[in-house]
Amino acid sequence: MNLWITVAIVTITYLGIAIGRWPLIKSNRATISLMGVGLLLVFGQIQFEELVDFIDFDTLVLLFSMMIINANLKMAGFFTWAGGALVKSTRSPRIFLLAEILLVGLLSALFVNDTICLMFTPFVLNLALSIGRNPIPYLIALATASNIGSVATLTGNPQNMIVGIASGISYLDFSRALLPVAILGLGSVWLVITRFYRYEFEPGTFPALPPSEEVLNRWMLVKVLVITGGMLVAFLAGVSIALASFLAACLLLFTRRNSPQTVFAEFDWSLLVFFSGLFIVSGALEANGVTHRLFELTDLGKKTNIWSFSLITVVLSNLVSNVPAVLLLRPVVQLLPDPTAGWLTLAAASTLAGNLTLLGSVANLIVAEIADRYRVTLSFWEYTKAGLVITCLSLLTGILYIAAFIWK
């Protein structure tokens, strides 16, 4: 094994993941992560027999289970119903924006934020375009609120799932620590969007909306909500989040109404492939001593404070995306003066950093790509001018809170 060959392969892989493709070939993040694994095998940097050891199966089971839950919620019409209720209860643009931010933040905390963006982006676009409003501020609010809201729980986003499995922090303790960070961050979204797009949020009311054609499956919705509620209770009771979510998913698959093919058709299978490859690529760095050498050079350890650790997390999250950043920083957390506070800081900073640019998180890209199908362009710079300020405000308030009440 050669340290520099490992570094070169992992760097090329991470750059491809950050950009979303490799030049000259048709690829996405999932195929890039797999090709990175292939290159590591070809050049003898890892052994085929080691691959299983690198994969965090608890995280994959949790992600798989949340996909089943989200698929059932979608088929029951929950997201359409929630969006319709939002419009009926708010008529002015400012109140609608506030309700959108709070609802998206709440749902992103309970379920995976990428899925919330996938479900709500078409709703926001259809609403804005049907009543002649500019959809851009509502789309930026959707993306940033989903990222910030997901900070509050272990199941809010993939990087939190990794932190939860690796740290052993309970669902309740995690939420108790980071819920205030999420609330402060959501406030910054409303403040920045209403200031940057003042013309859109002048006093006035929305016109009446046409009735929705989608039908709410009440029986299925009740079933999903009861089982999901039981899962959340299990989380709070200290049951393993991977086990509790998997059992909830199994109960939802026990049905006479929906075929497995219908449920699995809603899955993002490439996301599971992407994570599997990413675990192996990141594991190769640690196994070959690259991570240890990097931390020696940067002098991360007992003398590291919350500000330097947060800065490293933010920079790394925007260079290689937040999930790879968390995987890379996992080994160093145990070297910090307070590992528990370190895990919480890592979860918060890596997630909040995702709002900095359009490329900062998968949720942002989902919103932009769906908008493009509606011929609405959410450009890199249009997003970044608001995202930069939101990120600075949410990180500042969040890290100040963690420094004052959590970091020892």
Return the closest-CA partner of residue 228 out of 111, 85, 105, 81. Answer: 111
**What's the rounded Cα separation, in Å, for the pair 327 and 330?**
5
Cβ neighbors of 408 (< 8 A, separation 6 or more) are 337, 338, 341
**Are the C-beta atoms of residues 394 and 185 closer than 8 Å to each other?**
yes
Range of the domain at 168: 3-405
Q: Which helix (H) or strand (E) holds 50?
A: none
Pick left, alpha or beta for residue 184 (phi over 0 → left; psi -120 to 50 → alpha; otherwise beta). alpha
Cα of 8 vs its chain's centroid, Å: 27
**What's the rounded Cα separation, in Å, for the pair 405 and 408?**
8
**What's the rounded Cα separation, in Å, for the pair 111 and 107?**
6
Cα of 30 vs its chain's centroid, Å: 16
Ranked by mean pLDDT, which of 4-18, 55-69, 175-189 comes out on top? 175-189
Q: What is the mean pLDDT of the chain?
A: 84
Higher-scoring residue by pLDDT: 319, 68? 68
Mean pLDDT of 173-187: 96
In our burial notation (b when 16+ CB lie closer than 10 A, e otherwise), range 134-161 reads: ebbbbbbbbbbbbbbbbbbbbbbbbbbb
For the cut 60, the answer to whether the pLDDT of residue 305 exceeds it is yes
Return the closest-CA partner of residue 119 out of 95, 83, 155. Answer: 83
User: What pLDDT is stored for residue 186 in this prediction?
Assistant: 97
Question: Each residue of 15-65: pLDDT tens digit?
Answer: 787 676 777 788 877 888 899 999 999 998 888 988 888 888 887 887 788
Coil, strand or helix: which one is 379? coil
Which 8-state DSSP code applies to residue 211?
P
Question: First and final CA of the chain: distance in angstroms?
Answer: 40
DSSP 227-255: HHHHHHHHHHTT--HHHHHHHHHHHHH--
Residue carrying the six token digits 């920079």: 315
Q: Look up residue 15 and give its amino acid.
A: L
For the cut 90, the answer to whether the pLDDT of residue 260 exceeds it is no
**What's the rounded Cα separation, in Å, for the pair 174 and 341?**
10
Q: Look up residue 213 and give its amino acid.
A: E
Alpha-carbon distances of 113 from 104, 181, 327, rounded to whole Å: 8, 16, 19
Radius of gyration of the chain (CA): 21
In the chain, the number of structural domains is 1
Mean pLDDT of 88-115: 86
Cβ neighbors of 125 (< 8 A, separation 6 or more) are 135, 139, 370, 371, 374, 376
Ranked by mean pLDDT, which of 115-119, 369-373, 402-406 comes out on top? 402-406
User: What pLDDT is stored for residue 226 in this prediction?
Assistant: 93
Cβ neighbors of 110 (< 8 A, separation 6 or more) are 153, 155, 156, 228, 232
**What's the rounded Cα separation, in Å, for the pair 136 and 200?**
10
User: What pLDDT is stored for residue 214 in this prediction?
Assistant: 60
**Are the C-beta atoms of residues 159 and 62 closer than 8 Å to each other?**
no
At 380, list the tokens.
Answer: 């890199």
Question: Each residue of 140-158: pLDDT tens digit?
Answer: 999 999 999 999 999 899 8
**What's the rounded Cα separation, in Å, for the pair 401 and 408?**
12
CA dihedral 333, 338, 342, 348 (to 10 degrees): 170
- What percentage of residues in the chain have a pLDDT greater than 90? 31
In our burial notation (b when 16+ CB lie closer than 10 A, e otherwise), range 90-124 reads: beebbebbbebbbbbbbbbbbbbbbbbbbbbbbbb
Phi, psi (rounded to 5 degrees) for 274: -55, -50
**What's the rounded Cα separation, in Å, for the pair 80 and 78?**
6
Q: How confident is the model at residue 291 (pLDDT cuts 50, 70, 90)?
A: low
Longest dimension (CA), the chain: 66
User: What pLDDT is stored for residue 208 in this prediction?
Assistant: 57
Ranked by mean pLDDT, which of 221-225, 241-245, 303-307 comes out on top? 221-225
Q: How confident is the model at residue 341 (pLDDT cuts 50, 70, 90)?
A: very high
**What's the rounded Cα separation, in Å, for the pair 81 and 58?**
32
User: What pLDDT is stored for residue 98 in this prediction?
Assistant: 93
